Amino acid sequence: MRDEAKANEASDKEAREKIDKLNAADGLIFQTEKQLKEFGDKIPADKKEPIEKALLNLKEAHKSQNIESVDKATAELNKVWQAASEEMYKAGQQGQGQEQAQNNTNTEPKKEKAESEVTDVDFEEVK
């Protein structure tokens, strides 16, 4: 039995690696589709199209179960998604800066409620 396990060790390792990569690709497909639905309106059109194309390539590579194609498509999808994420992050930072500037210039100083109100109460110390 040990001899049989040693003889099949390389093929088992290869099969496990293939399954792990296919599972990772499947997870990436699901995650990308979910994020496109969630952030689709925030992604610029010039960044969204390459993401959709890379996603389609990954789906096709996943169907064919060609590990080299899966690796290439995964790397491509990660690359285009990262570029879009950076742009969304920068746009978000600029939007927050503009919003803060408007809040500082367009609003009157707010009357803030005292942070803590002190109330005197009677108490009895029990020993």
Confidence (pLDDT) at 13: 87
Confidence (pLDDT) at 6: 78
Tell me the average pLDDT of the chain.
Answer: 79
Region 96-100: what's the mean pLDDT? 63
Region 4-32: what's the mean pLDDT? 86
Region 80-100: what's the mean pLDDT? 75
- Number of structural domains in the chain: 1
Q: What is the dihedral of CA 82, 84, 87, 89, to 10 degrees?
A: -70
Assess if residue 25 is contained within a domain.
yes
What 3-state class would DSSP assign to 99?
helix
- Pick from 68, 67, 48, 44: which is nearest to 56 by CA? 48
Structure-model confidence comparison of residues 109 and 35, the more confident one? 35
What 3-state class would DSSP assign to 60?
helix
Structure-model confidence comparison of residues 94 and 77, the more confident one? 77
CB atoms closer than 10 angstroms to residue 21: 16
- Model's pTM, two decimal places? 0.62
Domain span including residue 61: 8-99
Confidence (pLDDT) at 67: 85
In the predicted structure, residue 75 carries a pLDDT above the cut 80: yes
Assess if residue 109 is contained within a domain.
no
Confidence (pLDDT) at 30: 92
What does the alpha-carbon distance between residue 83 and residue 71 come to, in Å, rounded to a whole number?
19
Question: Where residue 31 sits, what CATH number does that domain have?
Answer: 1.20.1270.10
Assess if residue 3 is contained within a domain.
no
Assess if residue 12 is contained within a domain.
yes
Assess if residue 33 is contained within a domain.
yes
Structure tokens at 51: 């993401």
Assess if residue 22 is contained within a domain.
yes
Confidence (pLDDT) at 107: 53
